[in-house]
A and B are shown apart, each in its own frame.
Chain A
Amino acid sequence: MRKRFWMVILGLICSLGLAAWGTCAEVSQGKCLKFEEAGKLITLEEYDTDFSPQNPYGRPTGVTSVYDASGALIGAPPKPGDILRIAYEVKGTQRVALKVMNVTRQDLMKK
Chain B
Amino acid sequence: MAGKIRGVKNRVLWALGAWSLSLWLLLPDWVWAAGEKATNLVVVADTRRLSGIMKYFANLYNTNTLLFAIWAVVLTALWGAILGFLMDFLMQRTGLDLKSRKIVEH
Give me the interface of A with B, judged by CB distance under 8 Å. Answer: 9, 12-13, 16, 19-20, 23-29, 49, 73-77, 85-87, 98-102, 106, 108
Closest residue of B by beta carbon distance from A2:
B85
Q: Assess the A27–B60 pair: CB atoms within 8 A.
A: no
Within the complex, the shortest CB–CB distance from B55 to chain A, in Å, comes to: 10
Q: Assess the B46–A85 pair: CB atoms within 8 A.
A: yes
Q: Which residues on A sit within 8 Å (CB–CB) of B62?
A: 25, 27, 87, 98-99
| Given the contacts A16-B67, A24-B59, A99-B62, A75 and B39 also touching, CB distance less than 8 Å | yes
Q: Which residues on A sit within 8 Å (CB–CB) of B74?
A: 12-13, 16
Within the complex, the shortest CB–CB distance from B26 to chain A, in Å, comes to: 28
Q: For residues 36 through 67 of chain B, which have their beta carbon under 8 Å from a beta carbon of chain A?
A: 39-49, 56, 59-60, 62-64, 67
Q: Assess the A101–B67 pair: CB atoms within 8 A.
A: no
Q: Does B78 contact A (CB under 8 A)?
A: yes
Q: Assess the A100–B67 pair: CB atoms within 8 A.
A: no
Within the complex, the shortest CB–CB distance from B15 to chain A, in Å, comes to: 44
Q: B59-93 CB contact bits vs A (8 Å, 1 = yes)?
A: 11011100100110010001001000000000000
Closest residue of B by beta carbon distance from A23:
B63
Nearest 9 CB-CB pairs, A to B?
A75-B42, A101-B44, A87-B62, A23-B63, A85-B44, A76-B39, A87-B44, A27-B47, A25-B63
Q: Assess the A101–B42 pair: CB atoms within 8 A.
A: yes
